[in-house]
Chain A
Amino acid sequence: MIHLTVQQLSSYLDGQLLGSASDNVQSHLAACRDCSTRFALLERIEAILSDSLSIDPGEEFFRELEAEVGSRIRERGQRDKDLSTPAVSSVRLLDRPAQARAASARPENRAASTRTDAHVDQSRAERVARAERHAEAPAPRPHRPASPKRSGSSGAWLAFVALAVVAGSVGVVVSRTSFVSAWIAPHLGLGPEERNLAARALSPPATPETTATEAPSVESPGDPTPPDAGNAGHEWNPWEPPASHSSTNDDEMVPDAAADPSDDQAAMLEPSTMRGDEVIATPDSSRKSRATSSDPFRALGTESLGPVRAAQQLSDMANADPTAARFETAADGWERALDTMGGVPEQVSVRQLLADARYRAWQTEPTRARAEAAKSAIKTYLLFAPSGWEREQAKTRLSKLGG
C-alpha cells in the first residue's frame, strides 16, 4: 500500500485539500492504520505546540513595551537632533544614559524604566537646551564684507582668505612640535599623565580619537565587586566613544608609549566611526560603515568575516543597551568568529573583544560563573596579547576578577 506523504497529511490537517484530493486522503486514512496513527499524532503535536507556544503576558506587559519603545525612539530622535549641531553633539557624548538603559532592560526594573528615562531625559533636556542656546549664538566667523563691497574688492578678499589659511597651517604645524607642546603643557596646568596623553595625541600615527579612548580607568586589584555595575555603558569599549575626555582622575592609566599604535589592535580601537547607538538600529548600515580602511578585519576571508561582522553587531547591541545577557551573547558571537579563524593575526583582536565582552557581562551583573568565564577569556587573551596598555588593562581586569 502506498502511504500518504506528510505533505498530504499536513495539507489535509489544515483543510487545504479540496474535492477528490480530500476524499482520497479521507478514504485512505479510514483504511490504513499507519497513516491514521501518523495523522492522529500530527493532530496531537499540533495541539501541544499550540498550547505550549501560545503566550499572553497581559495588557500591562504590552503597555510597558509600548512605553519603552516610545522612550527609546524619543531618545534616538533626541540623539539624531543632537548630532545635527556640533555644540550639542559634544553634550551628547558627555551624557549617555547607558545606566538608565541598562536598568530598564532588566525585567525587574522595567516598571521603573519610564521614571528613570524621564529623569534622564529631563537632565539631558537641560544640557541640550543650554548647548542649543550656545549653538544658536552667532559663531565667530571672519568678517564678510557685504556683497556689493565684496564684488568690488574680490582680490583683497581672496588675499585675506589665503593669508588666514597660511597662518592657520603654520599655527598647527608649530603647535605640534614637541618643544611647543612641552612649553604649553605647564601653562595649561596639565599633569604628567595628561602631557603623556597629549604627546601621544600629537604623535603622527595616533589619531586624537584613539588617544582619548586609550585612557581606561585602572581598577583597584582585589576589589570583588565592579566599581559601578550599573555604569557599565560608560566604561571604555571598542565600539563606543568615550563618555568624557577629561583626565583629571589620578587613577587614569598612562598608555604604554612603547605600544605600536599602527598595529591592528590600535586601529581597531578607533571608535570614531563605530558608535554603538548609531549602528544598533541599522545592522546592515553598520556593516557598510565598518568596511573602512580602519577596519582591522578587512583582510579576513569570507568564512571568518561573516561571523566577525555578526559579533560586531552583537557587541553594538550590547553596548547600546548593556545587559549581561547581551554581552554574553556578544561573547558567544566572538567565540564563534574565533572558531572560523586559524592563526591569523586578527584572532588576537577577536580574543580581546571576547575577553572584553565576558568582563562586561560580569561587570553588568556579577555572578561567579560570569567571573570564571571572564577570567578564562582574559587569560587566553593574555597568551596572545602584545605588550601595551590593552595588555595591562587585561591584567588589571584579571586581578579584579580575583585571577
Chain B
Amino acid sequence: MQGVSLVYLEAGEEIERIAAAQSGDRQAYLALVRQYARPLYRLAYAMCGDADAADLLARDALICGWGELREIPESLRFFPWILGIMRRIHETPSAVATSPKATETRPIAAIDAHGAELSPTNGGAQTEPSPTPAGEGTPGDARLRARTLASFAELRPDQRMTLSLRILEELPYEQMAALLDLSLGVATLRLSQARGHILSRATGLGGDA
C-alpha cells in the first residue's frame, strides 16, 4: 500500500475552514483541497483506471466543489461531500469513456490459487497440482492479475467505489458506510458482491461455491 490512508481534519478546524470558504475565502478552501486531494485522486484513479482521467476527474470535482460549497449540509464532512460530487461527475455517461475497459467478458477457464489453469473438462478439478506457488512475474500470476483488473473494471461504480475505499483507504466498514451514505449492511453486501464478482470472473471458480 502506497501513500497514507484518508486522514480527516480535526472536526472543529474543518468546520471553520468550510465556513470561511463559504464566505469566499479561497485559501480556506485550498487548505481543504490540500488535505483531501490525495485520497480523492486515489479514488478517482481507482474509478477511472487512468492517471490522466483521474487527474481531470479530481480537478473537476474540486472546482465544482467550490461552486457548490454553499450547499454542503452542516452534518456532512468535507470529504464525503466532495467524494459525492466526484462520483456524480463520474457516473454521468462520460464514465463509460473514462472507465477502465473490460478487456475480457467471455467465459474464462478456472485458475487455482496460484494462477495455474484448471481443466475445463473435469468440472474444475485441478488436473495437476501447482508444484509451487507462482511467484511474481510468472505466467499464472500475470494471468490472474490481468483477469482481476478486467473484472474490477466490470464492477458497477458503487461496487468499485466500495471496494476501493476498503482496499486503498483501509476504512472500517462503519466509516465506509458513512462515507457512502449507506447502511452498514448494504455497504458490507456491496463489498462482498464486488469481491464475489472478481473472484468469479478472475478465477472462474464462482463467487459462492
Q: Contacts A54-B42, A282-B67 known; A41 to B192 CB distance under 8 Å?
A: no
Contact A325 B56 (CB under 8 A): yes
Q: How far is the CB of B186 from chain A (nearest CB, A)?
A: 12
Interface residues of A in 39-78 (CB under 8 A from B): 40-42, 44-46, 48-50, 52-57, 61-62, 65-66, 68-70, 72-74, 76-77
Say whether A20 faces chain B, with CB atoms less than 8 Å apart. Answer: no
Q: Write the residues of chain B forming the contact surface with A, with a CB cutoff of 8 angstroms.
A: 1-3, 24, 26, 29-30, 33-34, 37-38, 41-42, 45-46, 51-56, 58-60, 62-64, 66-68, 88-89, 92-94, 96-98, 112-113, 144-145, 148-149, 152, 163-164, 166-168, 173, 188-189, 191-193, 195-196, 198-199, 202-203, 205, 207-209
Docked Cα-Cα span, A285 to B42, in Å, equals 28
5 more contacts with CB within 8 A, not counting A41-B203, A44-B113, A48-B144, are: A38-B199, A38-B203, A68-B59, A280-B64, A283-B64
Say whether A98 faces chain B, with CB atoms less than 8 Å apart. Answer: no
Q: How far is the CB of B198 from chain A (nearest CB, A)?
A: 6
Q: Which of chain B's residues have a CB closer than 8 A to the CB of A74?
A: 26
Contact B144 A283 (CB under 8 A): no
Q: Which of chain A's residues have a CB closer than 8 A to the CB of B53?
A: 325
Contact A54 B1 (CB under 8 A): yes
Contact B93 A332 (CB under 8 A): yes
Contact A10 B64 (CB under 8 A): no
Can you identify 20 A-B contacts, CB atoms within 8 angstroms?
A10-B192, A11-B188, A14-B191, A16-B173, A41-B205, A44-B144, A45-B148, A45-B202, A53-B45, A53-B167, A55-B54, A57-B41, A62-B41, A65-B37, A66-B30, A70-B26, A72-B66, A74-B26, A310-B92, A336-B93
Q: Which of chain A's residues have a CB closer than 8 A to the CB of B145?
A: 48, 52
Contact B42 A311 (CB under 8 A): no
Q: Which of chain A's residues have a CB closer than 8 A to the CB of B192?
A: 5-7, 9-11
Q: Contacts A3-B208, A35-B209, A40-B113 known; A69 to B199 CB distance under 8 Å?
A: no
Residue of B nearest to A32 (CB): B209
Q: Which of chain A's residues have a CB closer than 8 A to the CB of B149?
A: 48-49, 52
Contact A62 B166 (CB under 8 A): no
Q: Which of chain B's residues have a CB closer than 8 A to the CB of A69?
A: 30, 33, 59, 62-63, 66
Residue of A nearest to B44 (CB): A55
Contact B34 A281 (CB under 8 A): no
Contact B93 A307 (CB under 8 A): yes
Contact A7 B189 (CB under 8 A): yes
Among the listed B54, B98, B208, B209, which residue makes an inter-chain contact with A329, where contact means beta carbons less than 8 Å apart? B98
Docked Cα-Cα span, A336 to B55, in Å, equals 24
Q: Which of chain A's residues have a CB closer than 8 A to the CB of B88?
A: 283
* Chain A 87-109 per-residue mask, 1 if CB under 8 angstroms from chain B, else 0: 00000000000000000010100
Say whether A328 faces chain B, with CB atoms less than 8 Å apart. Answer: yes
Say whether A213 faces chain B, with CB atoms less than 8 Å apart. Answer: no
Q: How far is the CB of A158 from chain B (nearest CB, A)?
A: 42
Contact B38 A62 (CB under 8 A): yes
Interface residues of A in 280-316 (CB under 8 A from B): 280-283, 307, 310-311, 313-314
Contact B208 A6 (CB under 8 A): yes
Q: Contacts A55-B2, A55-B42, A69-B63 known; A77 to B94 CB distance under 8 Å?
A: no
Q: Write the residues of chain A forming the contact surface with B, with a CB cutoff of 8 angstroms.
A: 3-7, 9-11, 13-14, 16, 34-35, 37-38, 40-42, 44-46, 48-50, 52-57, 61-62, 65-66, 68-70, 72-74, 76-77, 105, 107, 280-283, 307, 310-311, 313-314, 317, 325-326, 328-330, 332-333, 336
Q: Which of chain A's residues have a CB closer than 8 A to the CB of B33?
A: 65-66, 69-70
> Which of B1, B46, B148: most chain A Cβ within 10 A?
B148
Contact A45 B209 (CB under 8 A): no
Q: Contacts A7-B188, A54-B1 known; A49 to B55 CB distance under 8 Å?
A: no
Docked Cα-Cα span, A61 to B51, in Å, equals 11
Q: Contacts A37-B113, A281-B64 known; A314 to B94 CB distance under 8 Å?
A: yes
Q: Which of chain B's residues have a CB closer than 8 A to the CB of A310?
A: 92-94
Residue of A nearest to B168 (CB): A53
Docked Cα-Cα span, A57 to B94, in Å, equals 24
Q: Which of chain B's residues have a CB closer than 8 A to the CB of A6?
A: 192-193, 195-196, 199, 207-208
Docked Cα-Cα span, A201 to B118, in Å, equals 74
Q: Which of chain B's residues have a CB closer than 8 A to the CB of A62?
A: 34, 37-38, 41
Contact B168 A72 (CB under 8 A): no
> Which of B67, B164, B191: most chain A Cβ within 10 A?
B67
Docked Cα-Cα span, A283 to B89, in Å, equals 9
Q: Which of chain A's residues have a CB closer than 8 A to the CB of B98?
A: 329
Docked Cα-Cα span, A123 to B68, in Å, equals 28
Contact B148 A48 (CB under 8 A): yes
State the 4 A-B residue pairs at the shortest beta-carbon distance, nearest first. Answer: A281-B67, A6-B196, A40-B113, A7-B192
Q: How far is the CB of B144 from chain A (nearest CB, A)?
A: 6
Q: Which of chain B's residues have a CB closer than 8 A to the CB of A76?
A: 63, 66-67
Docked Cα-Cα span, A107 to B196, in Å, equals 37
Contact A107 B64 (CB under 8 A): no
